[in-house]
Structure 1
């Protein structure tokens, strides 16, 4: 599992590669975001409705960390989340590779993340609401 938080203003990423996608790993990732962002910032996380994001232990942690604001996308609306653009980019990057082990895949992901953060790029929403509704 690749957890990624995208700073929309700077284009930088905070990421974590995990073997599983349970509430424990999600909590660890939230703690990583908390450590790696300036304490004065309010953090708005746009996430899907995966049960892990709403686990009671996650909710309890969020109650104690008021700067985190969770926003849940509607079902089948991942296209609304700009971090999905990043996932498209990393998918294209990884398609060119051949991996004989999970370790090789993780290494390639880590390389991509380092390259991406060395030259961060902002994702800019170009679509007009009217065009989206007409599709």
Structure 2
């Protein structure tokens, strides 16, 4: 980031510390390879931003061929500075 912004590494570090940012601790996710992904995202986000009158909008996540009955392990409380992790 320092190189791309033209700032020194120390300056970027100071800015991150000042705002409590820790981007290196963020867990990432993979974007879908579905060729219609962008269109689907727009449809879903559009429902939240501009819902039809008297509409009920639900968000449901699924993992194909796996039935979610209950968590295999409990969620543990996060400690300061720790990223939350859940079992699949």
- TM-score (norm: length of structure 2): 0.25
User: Rg bigger for which structure?
Assistant: 2
Structure with more of its chain in helix, by fraction: 1
With a CA cutoff of 8 Å and minimum separation of 6, indicate the structure with the bigger relative contact order: 1
Structure with more of its chain in strand, by fraction: 1
- TM-score (norm: length of structure 1): 0.20
